[in-house]
Amino acid sequence: MTEPHVEVTSELMERYIALTAAAREKATPLCASDTDDGERLATMMEMADSYASDAKWFVEQGDLVRAFGAINYAHAWIDCAVKIGLMDGHGDDEMFTLP
């Protein structure tokens, strides 16, 4: 059993940022970009990318608590897109909450 985390560390942030980047790369669109769903998905991925960028900025500033919150929001946007069927999570039930 792994030790529970009682603080947000730089190492933890590196791991979560890498995990979210891997999720962003793995999940693939299930709708054409020129459809209503495609436009919704683009908005969701803009949000994911913005939060991931914010997380990296917060890490650079030494604000690991806000970085942790931002990277979790980023991953949640990607996970949501998989859950509602706008993206394919390719069966990865550890990285995504599958439909």
Q: Which residues of the chain have pLDDT under 70?
A: 1
Classify each residue of 36-50 as buried b or exposed e, where b means 16 or more C-beta atoms within 10 Å of its C-beta. Answer: ebeeebeebbebbee
- Please report the domains of the chain, with CATH numbers, ordered by start residue: 10-88 (1.20.1270.90)
Distance CA 24, CA 45 (A): 8
Distances (CA, A) of 55 to 20, 58, 68: 11, 5, 7
Q: What is the pLDDT, as a whole number, of residue 4?
A: 78
Q: Specify the length of the chain in residues.
A: 99
Q: 0.75 cut: is pTM over it? A: yes
